[in-house]
Structure 1
C-alpha cells in the first residue's frame, strides 16, 4: 500500500511541476489538522474530553530522553511498565490491571496504526511529536485489549517540519544511540521524510557463568513517511517502518545465591515490519477516514529456562506472524448533536515452533527421580543425555466490530453514549511430539538386570477454537465551565481470551509420566484455553486550567469491578511452563492527580500521583483461597515530579542553559498471590543540563543518580526463586542538530 500511495503522490508532484508550481494554491489554505492526519477518533485537545489522560509533548520527550514506551512509565499516574526480561516483555499495569503474557490491557497506536501484538510494543522511535496516554476502558471506540487504556504516539510530519535532524548519544555501559532524519516538502501538497536509528549497549548485568554481560543489545530501524494532500479536503498519510533488534536479555538472579548464573544461551531476536495507510476526506458536515495496516513479526526467543548453572532444560520459541487491520470511521455534527461510528476488522496469523529440550539434570530430577521414587524396585535410566519436547502451532484470529457514539450538548452539559459489538474467533492447530526411550532395570534379584526398554513415541495433534462476542457500552456526562470541566463515566472493558501455548511442554511432560504409570496431570482442553477478561469501570474526574494557562490540574477517582481477570502464574511443583488463568473476581479503586505550574516564563513544574488498591474479591485456585489479597505485580503508588528551569544567555556561543531535575517513584508491589514477597516503595532521581544555541543542543544527563537498588520482576520456577534487579546508575550526553 505504501508504494501505491508514493507512486500516486509522485505522479501528482510531477504533474504539478509540469503545470508550473507557481499557480498552485498556497500552503496557507491547509490548516494544521489537514496537514497531519491526527486525532481520528477524539479531539486533539485531550483535556476537553471526559477521560483521564496525560499528554507528553515534544519538548518533554527531549527533556526526559524518551524513545520508547518504557521511558514514559510513572510520568502518567497509575501507569507502570517494568523494565525486565527482553524487548519481548512489554508488561503494562494501569489501575491494578495488567498482563505479563499474551493479550495486553493497553492498546498501542503509532500514527493511528494499531499494534496487534504486545510482544512488538517495545521499540525505539525518533522524532516523537507527542504521546497520549489514556487511562480507563477505551474498548467502545478501540475494541479488544484496551480495557486498561490506550497509548497514542505521533511522529513528526514532513508537512509540519522540513530539514535535517541529527542525534548522537553516548552513555555508561558503552551505550550508543545515533539517529538521522530528513524532512522535505516536494510541493505544497506532498511531503516525505526518512529516519534511520541505531542503538547499542554492552549491557548492565554480568552472567557469572561466563563473565559476560547478558543484556547486550544492537537495534536499528528505518521509517519512511509520506503525507499527500491531493485536494484541499483530502489527506493521505502512509508510514512504512522496519525494525531489527538483537539482544541478550533475561538477567534473572537466583535469590538463593544472589547471582545471575546460567550455562545455556539466552537471547531475543526480532525483525518487524509495519505499514500503515491513513486517509481522511472532509465533507461539509462529515469526515470520513480509513486506517489500513499490515504488520509482520519474525522473532526468536531462546533461553536457559531454568536460569541455573545446571542443565535442566532450554526453550526456543520461533514465530512468524502477520496481521491485517482495517478501520472505517465516520464522524459528523449537526448543531448540538455529534456522532462517530465505524467498522473495524482484523486478521492475524501466527506460525510458531516452540521446542523444549530436556537435558541431563532435568531428565534426572524432573522425570527419572519421580518415577523411581514411585517404583524403586524397577528403576529406570534414560537412554539419551537429552531429548526434545516438540511443539508446533498455527494460530489464526480474526474479528469484526461495529461501533457508534452519539453526543449531545445541553447548555454547559454534554452527554455521550457509545456502544460496540465485537465478534472474535480464535483457532489453534497444534502438534506435540517426542521420540526418546528409557531402560527399566530389575533390582529385586541378586544382580540387577535389564527388565525391558520402553520407547517414548508421542505424536499428539488437534484443533481448538473459541468464539467471543462482546457488547461494550460507555456512558459519559460532562459539565463544562470557563476553567475546565467535570465528568463522570461508566464503561465496560474487554480483554480477549486465548490459548496457553507455553503450557504444551508441561502437557507433554505429563504424558510421558503417564506412560510410566504415573497419573497424567493436565487435560488439554481445560488447561490450554483461558476466558476473556471483562470489567465495569466507574470514574469521576475533572480538568482545571487557570485563565492564563500557567496552572493546570487533572484529577480522577475510579472503581473497577473485574470478572475473570487473567493472571500469569507458574504451576506448583517441578513444571516447565507458565499458564494464563482466570481469577474469579477482582476489584480496584484509587485516585489520580496531575498538575503543571509555570510560575514564571523560565520555570516549569509538573507532578503526578496515582494510588491503586487492587485486590481479589474471589479467587480460589483449588490449593489456596486468595480472596482479599492484593493483585500481584500492580504497584500501589506511582509518583512523578519534575522541575525545569531555563536561563537565557547573551553570548555568541550560547542562547540558553536548561536545567531539569525529576524523580519517579513506584511501590509497594506484591510479587505473589499469597502476598508474602514484596518490593517496597522506591524512588529514582534523574537530572539533566542542556546547552542550547540556535538549532544545536548538548545535554548531559543522569538516570538513577543515587544508585537506588530495586527489583522489577520476581517469579518462582521449578521450586526456585528468581528476580531481576533494576538498572543501576546511568549517565551520558546527547547531541542534537537541526539544519
Structure 2
C-alpha cells in the first residue's frame, strides 16, 4: 500500500508538470546558438576528429593563438595542460616537460615544426610568428615518429600559402620597453604553387636591474625571418620547402644569491656582464606522393646552431668565477614514411628515421676545454590498427619500434705554463 502511495505521489508530480509544460508561453528571450568547429588532428598520422583519436591531445588553432596573443613558445605552458616549459634565464636551456617527463640534457619530448624535427634543447624556445596550429600529444609516440617521443610530441604547423594569401603587419608596444614588429606576405605563382615570406623583430629592456651597474640584466633583442614554398602537382606529388633563421641577443641570468639563514633571495648583483647570443638556421624539404593504396612521404631536415654564453657564475660583485661557453652544431635528418590511406578498416604505417649530428663546444674558465661530440642514430617503427575488432567501433592497435643510437665525446684540456702550452690527451 505504501508503494502504491509513493507511485501515485510521483505521478501527481509528473502529470501537472506535463500539463504546465503544454500551456507555457514560449520564452521570448533570444538565445544564441553556437556551433563548435570540428577539430581535425593530423599529428596522429591519420586525419581524425579530436574526439575520434584514442590519445590525450590538446590543439590550439590560429584563432586561439591570435586571441591569446601567443608569440613565444614558452607561453604555451599557460594554456596546455600537463605541458611545462621552464625559463632558466636564457634560451640555452629550454627543455620541454609533458606529464613531468623531460630532461635538461637529452630531450625525451619531440618537437616537430612542419614535419622537421628539432633536436637540441637550445632551439626549443623558437619564434612563433606565422604559426597556424599547435598540437600536443601526451604519452609515448615512438611507433608514429622517428625521434625523442617517449614523453610526448609537439607538432607546430605554419600557414599554408595555398590556402591563405595576403599581406599582414603587426605592431605591439608595452611597458618595460617591449616592442614587436612583424610582417608577412603570402602569394601564389599559380593555383598549385604558393610562397610565403615573413619577419619579426622583438625587443624588451629587461625586468631585473643589476645593482652593480644600475642597468637591466636581462634585456632582449631578437629577429627572425622565414621563407616557404609549397606546391601540388597534377601527377600526385606534394612538396614543401622552408628556410628559417633566428638570431637572439639577450642579457643573461637575473639570479640572486639565496641566504640560507633568512631564506631571502638577494638582488641581482654581479660585476661582469652576462649574455647569451644564438643563431639558428633551419631548413627542410618535405615530399609526398599518393599511390592508389598508400602514401609515401620523405622529410629531409637540416639545422645549424651557433651560440655563445658568458656568465658571471658566482653572481656577486666580486670577480670570482666567469665562464664563457660556445657551441656549434649541425644536424642532418631523414625520415621515410609509408602509410595506408585513411578511411579503411585496416590501416598501417611504416617508418625509417636516421640522423647525424656534429657538435663542437668550448668552455673557458680557469683553463680552456674543447669538446668534439658527434652522434648518429637509426630507427624503424610500425603501427597498425584494425577497426571493428570483435565489436562495433572497437579498434585494436599494435606497434613496434627499433632504435640504435651512438654518441661519443673527445675533449682536450689546455694548460698554460711559463714557457709552453701543453696539450693533455684523454
TM-score bucket of the superposed structures, by smaller chain:
0.7 to 0.9
Q: Tell me, what secondary structure is at the counterpart of 2:126?
A: coil
Distance 2:304 2:48 in 1: 30
Aligned to 2:96: 92
Distance 2:93 2:319 in 1: 25
Distance 2:83 2:44 in 1: 24
Contact 2:44 2:144 (C-alpha < 8 Å) held by counterparts: no
Corresponding position: 1:298 with 2:276: no
Distance 1:419 1:226 in 2: 35
Query: Cα deviation per residue 1:538-591 (whole Å; 9 max; x = unaligned)?
Result: xxxxxxxxxxxxxxxxxxxxxxxxxxxxxxxxxxxxxxxxxxxxxxxxxxxxxx
Which residue of 395, 419, 422 corresponds with 1:414?
A: 395
Aligned to 1:49: 53
Q: Tell me, what secondary structure is at the counterpart of 1:213?
A: coil
Corresponding position: 1:111 with 2:114: yes
- Cα deviation, residue 435, structure 1: 1.9
Contact 2:113 2:156 (C-alpha < 8 Å) held by counterparts: yes
Q: What pairs up with 1:375-414 in 2 under 5 angstroms?
A: 388-410=366-388, 411-414=392-395
Which residue of 216, 220, 237 corresponds with 1:213?
A: 216
Corresponding position: 1:260 with 2:277: no
Corresponding position: 1:309 with 2:317: yes
Corresponding position: 1:246 with 2:210: no
Distance 1:99 1:39 in 2: 23
**CA separation of 1:144 and 1:275: change in aligned 2, threshold 3 A:** closer
Aligned to 1:82: 86
- Cα deviation, residue 255, structure 1: 2.1
Q: Tell me, what secondary structure is at the counterpart of 2:352?
A: strand
**CA separation of 1:246 and 1:44: change in aligned 2, threshold 3 A:** farther
Distance 1:413 1:200 in 2: 53
**Which TM-score applies when normalising by structure 2?**
0.85
Q: Tell me, what secondary structure is at the counterpart of 1:246?
A: strand
**Which TM-score applies when normalising by structure 1?**
0.49
Aligned to 2:64: 60
- Cα deviation, residue 92, structure 1: 2.2
Aligned to 2:234: 231
Contact 1:238 1:278 (C-alpha < 8 Å) held by counterparts: yes
Contact 1:198 1:220 (C-alpha < 8 Å) held by counterparts: yes
Q: Could you tell me which runs of 5 or more consecutive residues in structure 1 were left unpaired when the two chains were aligned.
A: 1-37, 357-387, 438-454, 463-739
Distance 2:277 2:248 in 1: 6
Distance 1:144 1:188 in 2: 35
Query: Cα deviation per residue 1:352-383 (whole Å; 9 max; x = unaligned)?
Result: 11111xxxxxxxxxxxxxxxxxxxxxxxxxxx
Which residue of 120, 125, 136 corresponds with 1:122?
A: 125
**CA separation of 1:42 and 1:117: change in aligned 2, threshold 3 A:** farther
Contact 1:43 1:49 (C-alpha < 8 Å) held by counterparts: no
- Cα deviation, residue 433, structure 1: 2.1
Contact 1:194 1:223 (C-alpha < 8 Å) held by counterparts: yes
**CA separation of 1:44 and 1:197: change in aligned 2, threshold 3 A:** farther
- Cα deviation, residue 140, structure 1: 2.5
- Cα deviation, residue 135, structure 1: 1.0
Aligned to 1:630: none
Aligned to 1:707: none
Aligned to 1:432: 413
Corresponding position: 1:73 with 2:54: no
Distance 1:70 1:348 in 2: 25
- Cα deviation, residue 228, structure 1: 1.1
Distance 1:260 1:178 in 2: 30
Q: What pairs up with 1:435-450 in 2 under 5 angstroms?
A: 435-436=416-417
Bigger share in strand: 1
Q: Could you tell me which runs of 5 or more consecutive residues in structure 2 were left unpaired when the two chains were aligned.
A: 1-41, 260-264
C-alpha RMSD of the superposition: 1.8
Query: Cα deviation per residue 1:149-193 (whole Å; 9 max; x = unaligned)?
Result: 111111111111111011100111010011110000111010000
Query: Cα deviation per residue 1:249-296 (whole Å; 9 max; x = unaligned)?
Result: 211111236211111121000111110111111111100101001110
Distance 2:177 2:46 in 1: 42
Aligned to 2:204: 201
- Cα deviation, residue 428, structure 1: 1.2
**CA separation of 1:419 and 1:46: change in aligned 2, threshold 3 A:** farther
Aligned to 2:16: none
Corresponding position: 1:459 with 2:420: no
Number of aligned residues:
376
- Cα deviation, residue 45, structure 1: 3.2
